[in-house]
Amino acid sequence: MKKFATILLLFIAVACNRNQGPEDIQAKLKSTLLDYMYSRVNYDSTKVKYYVIGDVIYYDDPQYYICDFKVNMKIIGVKDTVGIKRLYITHDFKVISR
């Protein structure tokens, strides 16, 4: 019985620590950027809307992801603009710096 429990716990630990693929990382980086951008306007999307265009270009540094995003920003009543935003995002996706 102890062997079964040990094998089961090992299986669960391996399953929880699976490596993320590039698509998963890009999706998480995009959602982290959008959350960061909307937090700057108190999550009021009636003032401004943000869209990430294309794929995220990122480098997996030992401390954080160095990311380049192509962002379309639409301010209500004003022309929209497209620009490149470079951010440094930690691997736990909680700390963002510019």
Q: Which domains does the chain have, with CATH numbers?
A: 21-97 (2.30.30)
Rounded distance, CA 7 to CA 15, Å? Answer: 12
User: Tens of pLDDT along 53-89?
Assistant: 998 999 999 999 999 999 999 988 888 899 999 999 9
pLDDT at 9: 59
Residue 2 clears pLDDT 90, i.e. is over it: no
Own/partner pairs for 69-78, CB < 8 Å, 24+ apart? 69/29, 69/30, 69/33, 71/33, 71/37, 73/48, 73/49, 74/48, 74/49, 74/50, 75/47, 75/48, 76/46, 76/47, 76/48, 76/49
pLDDT at 23: 85
Q: What is the pTM of this model?
A: 0.75
User: Tens of pLDDT along 7-42?
Assistant: 655 566 555 555 778 889 999 999 999 999 999 889
